[in-house]
Amino acid sequence: MSTIVISGLSGTGKTTIARKLAKKLGIDYFSVTDLFRDIYPRDKELERIIKIWREYKITKATQLKIENSQIQVAKRGNVVIDGEIAIYVLRRVPSFKIWLTAEESIRVERIAKRDGFGIEEARTILAKKERYESEFFRKFYGIKLNILDTYADFTIDTSFLPTEEIINKIIRVMPK
């Protein structure tokens, strides 16, 4: 089996879907977010990421380390890789690339529940995070977050679908 890459904005379900898909397929799972957790201090998910963008100013060397780790894992194959812009980073590596979307209100609700925020706090923090990320990815890669779906082989809206249904849809459209 080849490499499967799952990307999407925060709250689209990429980690949940990627982990469960890997388990169902009996292959490895690799999280780009876990690389960040190894490099930067842990806090609530979104607060930690904002702190990284604002205070630590991700360096080019750190971003290249994260990028190279993804590429090495992807080249080995038999893995599901979960990363917000992994479909872009791995665009030249043979893989099946999936972009997950979800309505903003759904993403905010999921993040509030996951990180223990109120809805308005989650909405504010998510907007800040996406603003910082958008600026960074534009400067570092020359890309905009709103065009990442163009690198996908398959796009699915996770707003109202159960996880198992999403996984089954992905399996049905994967190359055999």
Half-sphere exposure in the Cβ direction for 26 (13 Å, CA): 1
> Which residue type sits at 141?
Y
What's the CATH number of domain 3-173, 3.40.190.10, 3.40.50.300, 3.40.50.720, 2.60.40.3080? Answer: 3.40.50.300
pLDDT digits (tens, 9 = 90+) for 11-42: 999 999 999 999 999 999 999 877 766 665 55
Within 8 A by CB and 6+ apart from 84, the residues are 7, 8, 9, 10, 14, 32, 133
pLDDT computed for residue 136 by the predictor? 81
pLDDT digits (tens, 9 = 90+) for 111-132: 999 888 899 999 998 898 888 8
Please give the average per-residue pLDDT across 77-86, as a whole number. Answer: 95
pTM: 0.88
> How far, in Å, are 5, 58, 175 from residue 84 at the CA level?
10, 15, 22
User: What ranges do the domains of the chain cover?
Assistant: 3-173
pLDDT computed for residue 160 by the predictor? 97
Looking at the chain, the number of H-run helices and the number of E-run strands are 8, 5
